[in-house]
Amino acid sequence: MSISQAIEKLEAHYSHQYEFIQAVKEVALTIQPLYDAHPEYEEFKVFERLVEPDRIFNFRINWENDKGEVQVNRGWRVQFCNALGPYKGGLRFHPTVNQSVLKFLGFEQIFKNALTGLPIGGGKGGSDFDPKGKSDSEVRRFCYAFMRELYHYINKDMDVPAGDIGVGGREVSYMFAMYKNLTRESTGVITGKGVGFGGSLMRTEATGYGAVYFLENMLKAQDEAIEGKTVLVSGAGNVSLHAAEKCIALGAKVITVSDSQGTLHDKNGFDKPKLDWLKTQKAANKPLADYVTKFGSGKWLAGQKPWQFKADIAIPSATQNEVNEEEAKQLVDNGVKYIVEGANMPLTADAVDYVRDYRVHYAPGKAANAGGVAVSALEMSQNSVRQYKTFEQVDERLKVIMKDIHDSAAGASEQYGQTDNGYIDYMAGANMVGFKRVADALVAFGILN
């Protein structure tokens, strides 16, 4: 079955899983040259196999709110592919979570994890639980209840979750505690743990910093540097604020952050103290808008996105499909030359086509945001040997990993004729490198997996 036939079959079967089909098509559209060069992939039905998860666990979570009322949520774990190592990928708590979203994230994760060069397979999980407006006790009770179900399906050598939207250090700690309580094991079954009890230094910063290291490599390939560039960041969460922090440290001017309520714009750029204040403000669940009165500068744009300002670089780091075609056009019109996806699939398919047509240097999430999961894999290995690396050691390793991802994607773009007059097709390159690593393993295994 050809790739296009496999897509047709998938669309017929999962027509309602919009995000999942979108993510699969993006990979399918770019790997054909590689597929043609490897007839064994077709023979072993590699594509058809890879678009169907190994298995999905679906469970119910009962928990009690502060009023003593019983609450019910849905939870899932998608174990997509463990060809290269234990299933690995985050947990998302957000009301929009459903099977389509988790399958798209799990599918992307397979190739992202392969790109890191570390021994990790792909998975994803989460719940439609909404952490917004919940007390700490409610979040704790929910996390305990969630892990009471999830623990049946995970294990340090088999499936290792982590955080994602709505799941940070606090939630990971609660879930880790329940896992330990139920199993009496003290292992690295989940990553993003607190540094004092098994977590890796730098995991918190890794995704945002890694995206900026990737950007530095892209700029270097065009004989440019980050210093003095103007940057638009969306989101005000883990990835966004650490991407902004690293840009600022490297001499760029970050003029926006945003959240689900709107955009904060400061034409003078955020400095480190202001960014630290933003971190504290978001951690306390308080409005970004307070910045304007606190610092007497900037503007709060309720309900708006950050793509309306002139800039050199955009780092969309909030959520999927946050940039549509019209907003992509806005970015191009505003002079943006580099787009680095901190989030997973933040551009719609039309937006991706648009920016690529206008030769914007475009780094897809599975390459650019792989630093987070890469440091998660380093956390797993530190847990296994029960020895810890310093911040600097992890940071150095992260820089090397991001450079390797950049160079291998750029190399594949060149090798398969996708580089055009110095314009590197990172999307095609990254998809082909990730896909090849997994496909070769599947072929070696025969028809198991």
Which residues are known to be catalytic? 124
Which of the listed partners (ligand NDP, ligand 2IT, none) does 88 bind, with a CB threshold of 5 to 8 Å by partner kind? ligand 2IT
The H or E element that residue 175 is part of is helix 169-183
Q: Is 259 in the site for ligand NDP (CB under 6 A)?
A: yes
The H or E element that residue 440 is part of is helix 426-445
Site string for ligand NDP, 260-279 (x = CB under 6 A): xx------------------
The H or E element that residue 262 is part of is strand 262-265
Assign 72 to helix, strand or coil. strand
Selected from 85, 90, 125, 269, the binder of ligand 2IT by CB under 6 A is: 90
Assign 17 to helix, strand or coil. coil
Q: Which residues contact 24 (CB under 8 A, 6 or more apart)?
A: 7, 10, 51, 107
Alpha helices in 186-263 (DSSP H): 203-221, 238-249
Q: Report 327-346 residues binding ligand 2IT (CB under 6 A).
A: 344
Question: How many whole angstroms separate alpha carbon 109 and alpha carbon 125?
Answer: 11
Q: Report 137-196 residues binding ligand 2IT (CB under 6 A).
A: 162, 164, 191
Selected from 173, 230, 344, 418, the binder of ligand NDP by CB under 6 A is: 344
Among the residue ranges 158-166, 215-223, 328-336, 400-408, the one whose residues contact ligand NDP (CB under 6 A) = 158-166
Selected from 343, 374, 433, 441, the binder of ligand NDP by CB under 6 A is: 343
Assign 267 to helix, strand or coil. coil
Please state the closest distance from residue 304 (CB atom) to ligand 2IT, in A. 26
Comparing every residue's Cβ against ligand NDP, the nearest one is 237
Residue 169 to residues 37, 55, 98, 210, 285, Cα–Cα distance (Å): 44, 27, 23, 19, 15
Site string for ligand NDP, 313-332 (x = CB under 6 A): ----xxx-------------
Number of DSSP helices (H) and strands (E) in the chain, helices first: 18, 13
Which of the listed partners (ligand 2IT, ligand NDP, none) does 360 bind, with a CB threshold of 5 to 8 Å by partner kind? none
Interface with ligand 2IT by CB under 6 A: which residues? 88-90, 109, 112, 162, 164, 191, 344, 372-373, 376
Interface with ligand NDP by CB under 6 A: which residues? 163-166, 168, 207, 235-240, 259-261, 317-319, 342-344, 369, 372
